[in-house]
């Protein structure tokens, strides 16, 4: 009886939403408003994307950051599933849960240096002697210029542009980057990256969204499947050594759907949880399913598609409720999980890793998509 009542309730909710939409006319798919100014006086705009089913994605110019992503559960209730903040000030003061674009180089570069075409480059060290996520003033801390795209049918889209000058954080070449967020009627948020350069330079982009598909609590019950049977081996400082480690028989094995909390405690003494780069089976040769995550209480299911060869699984202690930071309670553990599609960390120092070098005349293009749906139980492998 409970299942039947829930089904009737969901149908009525969908009928009511459709009726309201018909009365109100066509939905306004994209809106924009000022979100504040940086300490340097740069104006930041917040864009809100909507689809025909009520899903909402808000993205701002500072860091090309997702500030909110509201998706329905199995009963049609919408909740923000991405950690965000209500004010620009929180971000400029170093809010550590930002779902921002990371660049020029996502993840780590050992000893903050690399050699390219026989010349050594030293980049900004911001993680001890190493660099992580583009340095002290990486792309997540820059103001991007946004533009609403109106010509995409059955979707809402905004394009962000950024010019990174030659020498920015120590990287060579002037890099022009565009990042486009598209929310379509399949409840999918797609991120398209494109970049060109006037000198050879490393590029490695990702989005560092912290997800909790329940909207609050820890993520230990989230069920995860990853299409990877190896990780890039790392040393004690999480720097890839250039080797690979099979995941079979270890707490890192997600080739069968497994709860995040099932084996995480064995990792806490070393990496404080999951913080590992998975080698996607297809090697980034095509746009394909790389992982999915299912939350049993809400029934929310998120599929992750990418054309990148790697994905960092990271469980963070970023406590929030309905997308907003809250104080942690003693019983809370890992409250968020990241699926950072990327090239391999420290690839600039391992020539046998997939290359991250962008050269003039050969634009970089990549895409990642997060597709949301609901299920009554944990799916099978795919």
Distances 12 to 19, 29, 71, 306, 372 between C-alpha atoms, Å: 10, 23, 18, 35, 21
Name the active-site residue from 53, 208, 276, 343: 208
Measure the CA–CA gap between 281 and 273, rounded to whole angstroms: 23
The two tokens of residue 127 are: 């993680």
Measure the CA–CA gap between 264 and 3, rounded to whole angstroms: 33
Q: Please say whether the beta carbons of 147 and 161 come within 8 A.
A: yes
Give buried/exposed letters for 307-317 (b at 16+ CB in 10 A, else e).
bbbbbbbbbbe
Residue with tokens 């570069």: 109
> Closest Cα partner for 353 from 177, 77, 35, 109?
109
Measure the CA–CA gap between 127 and 110, rounded to whole angstroms: 10
Establish whether 340 is a catalytic residue.
Answer: yes
Name the active-site residue from 276, 295, 340, 343: 340
The two tokens of residue 57 are: 């994605």
Active site residues: 208, 340
């Amino acid at each position: 009886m409970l299942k039947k009542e829930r089904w009737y309730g969901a149908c009525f909710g969908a009928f009511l939403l459709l009726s309201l939409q018909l009365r109100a006319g066509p939905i306004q798919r994209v809106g924009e408003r000022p979100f504040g100014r940086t300490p340097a006086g740069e104006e930041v705009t917040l864009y809100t994307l909507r689809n025909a089913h009520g899903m909402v994605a808000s993205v701002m110019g500072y860091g090309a950051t997702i500030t909110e992503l509201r998706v329905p559960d199995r009963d049609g209730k919408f909740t923000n599933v991405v950690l965000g903040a209500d004010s620009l000030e929180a971000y400029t003061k170093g809010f550590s849960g930002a779902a921002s674009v990371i660049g020029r180089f996502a993840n780590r570069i050992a000893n903050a240096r690399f050699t390219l075409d026989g010349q050594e480059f030293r980049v900004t060290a911001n993680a001890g002697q190493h660099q992580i996520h583009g340095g002290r003033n990486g792309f997540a801390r820059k103001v991007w210029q946004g533009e609403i795209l109106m010509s995409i049918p059955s979707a809402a889209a905004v394009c962000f542009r950024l010019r990174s000058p030659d020498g920015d954080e120590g990287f060579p070449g002037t890099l022009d980057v565009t990042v486009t967020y598209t929310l379509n009627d399949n409840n999918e948020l797609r991120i398209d990256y494109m970049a060109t350069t006037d000198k050879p330079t490393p590029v490695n982009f990702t989005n560092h969204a912290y997800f909790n598909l329940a909207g609050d609590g820890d993520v230990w019950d989230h069920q995860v499947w990853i299409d990877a049977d190896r990780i890039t081996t790392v040393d004690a400082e999480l720097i890839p050594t250039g080797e690979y480690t099979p995941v079979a028989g270890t707490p890192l094995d997600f080739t069968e759907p497994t709860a995040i909390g099932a084996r995480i405690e064995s990792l806490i003494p070393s990496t404080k949880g999951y913080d590992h780069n998975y080698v996607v089976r297809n090697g980034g040769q095509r746009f394909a399913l790389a992982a999915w995550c299912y939350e049993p209480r809400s029934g929310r299911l998120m599929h992750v598609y990418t054309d990148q060869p790697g994905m960092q699984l990271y469980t963070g202690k970023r406590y929030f409720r309905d997308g907003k930071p809250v104080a942690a309670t003693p019983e809370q553990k890992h409250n968020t999980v990241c699926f950072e599609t990327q090239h391999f960390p420290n690839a600039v120092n391992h020539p046998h890793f997939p290359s991250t070098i962008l050269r003039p005349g050969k634009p970089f293009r990549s895409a990642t998509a997060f597709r949301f749906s609901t299920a009554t139980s944990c799916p099978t492998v795919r």
